[in-house]
A and B are shown apart, each in its own frame.
Chain A
Amino acid sequence: MLLFLQSLLNGILLGGIYAAYSAGFSLIFGVMGVINIFHGEMVMLGAFITYWIFTLFHVDPFLTIPFSIIALFVFGYLVQRFVINRVVEAPPMISYILTFGIHLIIAYTALWVWTADFRTVTTSYSGFNANVGGIIIPYARLATFGLALVVVAGLYVLLYKSEVGRAIQATAQDKEVARLMGVNIRRIYAITFGIGAAITGIAGSLISTYFIIFPQMGLPYTIIAFCVVVLGGMGYIPGALWGGLILGVVQSLTATYLNSGISGAFTFILLFVMLIVRPSGIVGKGIVE
């Protein structure tokens, strides 16, 4: 029983990690319809920002988060403003190719600059955990889970309670009407991408404390983010949390009770079944076109 609860908890926390780095993917898809292939590279950039600030200046990884937010927001804003905006209204295939190209550019530039070394942020408290009735709770993962909740809640508030949020929503719902109402669509797109990149950067910062980071780590993160967002509902922000939790729990329980190889297969079986049976996501609020 204890093993089951421990595995379940591990799955929930893993789900939190998945949700934390998938929320930005969902936001960007929801507003612009862009499936961002270089999403994983933004996780990598966030992780490397934390790694370098920690290594060079001995700043605690959690205190490096503001730097990741600012750097990734600026990066996301500029990439959207000057590159993706040029093709955002073209057929989706063009944006796939473009974002795939950017994925290669970032990954290989990072490889050139930082080499292929595997790195990790090891602090004096790395790997620390709480023992509650025999159940181990790793603090760093708990923090990431908490952060995933805050990010989803924050995005919800931003989208529904602020003027920028309403403009983003209006743009997502009908960009032509929004444009007629005076919304600067291209600016809204750039801000949205910036926000998506910033929250992904936060996840990257936290991940660097318990996962191994290296320049070419990005693609698996993009694939997981895609699965999470399909499970939760494309473009439906709280769906990232649902999708992350489902995926995390299923993977954890299968790895514990069956086999870790099967846990990977389950991910794609789930994705496959969901696309056929419920393409709008587990709570049915995703975009289906």
Chain B
Amino acid sequence: MKKIFLTCMVLGIALALTSGITSAQQKFRIGYAVPLTGTFGRDGSLVRDAYAYWAELVNSKGGIEVKGKKYPVELSFIDDKSIAAENAKLTEKLITDDKVDLILGGFGSDSVFAGSAVAEKYKYPMICGSASSNKLFERGFKYYFSTIGKATEEVRGCVEISQMLSPKPKTGVIIGSDILFTALAAEGYKKYAAQNGIEILHFELFPITLQDYNSMLLKVKQMNPDVLFVGSHLMVAMKTMKALKEIDFTPKMVTFSYGPTVPDFVKSLGKDAEYVVAASEWAPNLPYKDPLFGTARQFNDDYFKKYGRYPDYVEAASAAGAYAMQIAIEKLGITPPVKEADRVRLMEELYKQNLTTFYGVVKFGPDGANEAHPPVAVQIQNGKLRNVFPRDAAEATPWYPMKPWKER
């Protein structure tokens, strides 16, 4: 009797284990390391929300459809605490310990720079919608892709908008926090200012940990430039606006490489956020659409229904990246568990892709950067982000010059 019982138990356990393995093979396990705490905790949480939105939408339709069968998506994420080395370690953990099928990019150039090196080593294609430092694309990597343009190109719209303004700004000052993305954004400003005939009076990079901006901006105020170009993330952008008001300095235009498109910017600063110009890669009024998300406007509105806030362009770019991976999987007929040979095919397919999405066209160049994406500039007008550049896609005329603080 005992023997029969034991045999049944062993068989039962074996059956449970086998069925566990079988069921694990019925879904795509996708992992990513992203900052949820530390300096980029807020920005990183946007990327997490975007992937979750994509996964939920895909799963609501039964999953990724491969050869007539649907495979749901299971996401797992780990907090890299805004530390680049941590991102590399966690990406390796996802690949070697958790054995995920695929990975996605996190947030921020420093972290993604480290994490993508691990992905390259293990031949995992990584599509990212939130890291754009040029250095990411200069490493000869084959497995790193980005739905957004390079950092230096991203700010192009913020400078070229000057051609639409009257009187045209003649002078500018560039400041930026001294980390990979924002420092490159500052370089981008410099490059495009020269092309647009704007004389740069001063260029300064400052530590991201700088607590007080007033003294630095006093010097800028003294120079009285027409435009203040800022290489920024959300916190830097917020601190800059607070300081400008405190020292009573209103240049004719202030532009940021990143920050004002995050909803917290307008929510926290209220009317003080008006007139701010920001680089963007996407706006909901653009005429793009795809079968999963619908139109850009639909994505915008549905996202609001889910999260109670409108998406930032980084969220649109991240969702589009996950979608690009999904389309490539569907086309190649890859099923979970994803093997190395499948990942190599996936990488090759991504280079061939020319995909129209709600976010715009996704077409990766030989260095992995999205070649088909024009920079956009948005401005905060009456508490809303309005697309003001390029001119043919603009939904509003830029407000210029900025109204002095005392007259608001």
Contacts and interface: CB of A to CB of B under 8 A. Distances in A.
Interface of A: 3, 6-7, 10-11, 14, 108, 111, 115-120, 122, 126-127, 129, 131, 136, 138, 140-141, 210-212, 214, 216, 220, 224, 251-253, 255-257, 259-261, 263-264
B246 A118 contact: no
A224 B215 contact: no
Contacts of B246: 127, 129, 136, 138, 140-141, 210
Contacts of B23: none
Nearest to A6: B218
Contacts of A127: 242, 245-246, 272, 405
Given A120-B269, A127-B272, A261-B206, A216 B219 contact: no
Given A129-B248, A136-B248, A120 B242 contact: yes
A136 B242 contact: no
A237 to B, nearest CB: 23
Interface residues of B, number: 37
Contacts of A118: 42, 234-235, 238, 264, 268
Contacts of A252: 212, 214-215
Given A127-B242, A259-B204, A260-B204, A224 B219 contact: no
Nearest to A108: B37
Contact of A136 (B247, B264, B268, B270): B247
B22 interface: no
A3 B249 CA distance: 13
A221 to B, nearest CB: 8
Contacts of B41: 111, 115-116, 214, 216
B60 interface: no
B113 to A, nearest CB: 21
Contacts of B211: 211, 220, 224
A261 B178 contact: yes
Nearest to A224: B211
Contacts of A220: 209, 211
Contacts of A116: 36-38, 41-42, 44-45
Interface of B: 36-38, 41-42, 44-45, 178, 204-207, 209-212, 214-216, 218-219, 222, 234-235, 238-239, 242, 245-248, 264, 268-270, 272, 405
A212 B238 contact: yes
A7 B36 CA distance: 36
Nearest to A219: B209
A117 B205 CA distance: 25
A99 to B, nearest CB: 20
A260 B215 contact: yes
Nearest to A213: B268
B207 A256 contact: no
Contacts of B234: 118
A259 B216 CA distance: 8
Contacts of B214: 10, 14, 138, 252
Given A7-B218, A120-B242, A127-B245, A260 B272 contact: no
A126 B245 contact: yes
Given A260-B206, A264-B210, 19 more contacts: A3-B222, A7-B215, A111-B41, A115-B42, A118-B234, A118-B238, A119-B268, A120-B269, A122-B270, A129-B246, A136-B246, A138-B214, A140-B246, A211-B211, A212-B235, A216-B41, A257-B219, A260-B207, A263-B210
